[in-house]
Homo-oligomer: A and B are copies of this chain.
Amino acid sequence: MKVSREQVAENRKRILKVASKLFREKGFDGVGVDAVMKAAGLTHGAFYGYFSSKEELIDQACAQGLADVDESWRASSDPLTALAGLYLAADHCENPGEGCLLAALGSEVVRQSGDARRALTDALRARIDILAELSPGDSPAARREKAIATWAGLIGALILARAVDDPALTGELLRTGKAVFGGKRGHARRSGKRPTGRSPLVRHP
């Protein structure tokens, strides 16, 4: 049965949203077209009315998953600490589907088509720029260096914290990452307050 134009637009958004979430949770190969469509409340046959292939879905789901980020930490009086606290929160660690696409799919995007990598590259560049503005340092170069090292450290710590089998080690990785990559040394360790939103780094529209 046909469906209104607004329905179509909504469906498209919903497909991209659930696809982006499922990919982050289970990887590109772990989610089939039918699983995505079912999660979006449709049957798999309708898929090719929206996308020409699964690859195109992956590209666009990456782009939207990278665009849809929470930047509330920027407004904090201590942005680095706020970012590290949000990024390395237990909540973010446990819910990759709602979290940072770079950390969830970082080591898989290399094998994807040009478009997905392009989207990731642009997103990373933007995040480096944003963090460089807020980082301490005598020169723009020093601030940029600090920003790159911080992102690398946060993403690496989160990937390891998730990969590891032992909750105690996961906790140590998150805590240490917050302490080292958060702004003021040792400060992040004591401020145990959790972020208000449930899903760090994802905007809730």
Chain A residues in the interface with B (C-beta under 8 A)? 26-27, 29-30, 96, 102-111, 114, 117-118, 120-121, 124-125, 145-146, 148-149, 151-157, 159-160, 162-166, 169, 172-173, 176-177, 179-181
Q: How far is the CA of A142 from the CA of B19 in the complex (A)?
A: 42
**Across the interface, do A108 and B108 meet the contact criterion of CB distance under 8 Å?**
yes
Enumerate the 3 nearest inter-chain pairs by beta-carbon distance, A residue then B residue, closest first: A156-B156, A29-B29, A152-B156
Query: In the complex the two chains form, is B154's CB within 8 Å of A117's CB?
Result: no
Quick one: given A149-B181, A157-B156, are A165 and B107 in contact (CB under 8 Å)? no
Which of A118, A156, A165, A172 has the most chain B CB atoms closer than 10 A to its own CB? A156
The answer, among B102, B105, B118, for a CB contact under 8 Å with A165, is B118
Q: Would you call B124 and A160 a contact (CB within 8 A)?
A: yes
The CA-CA distance from A27 to B151 in the complex, in Å, is 24
A-B contact list, 16 entries, CB within 8 Å: A102-B163, A106-B106, A106-B107, A106-B160, A106-B163, A107-B107, A109-B163, A114-B165, A120-B165, A124-B164, A145-B176, A148-B173, A148-B176, A152-B152, A152-B173, A153-B156
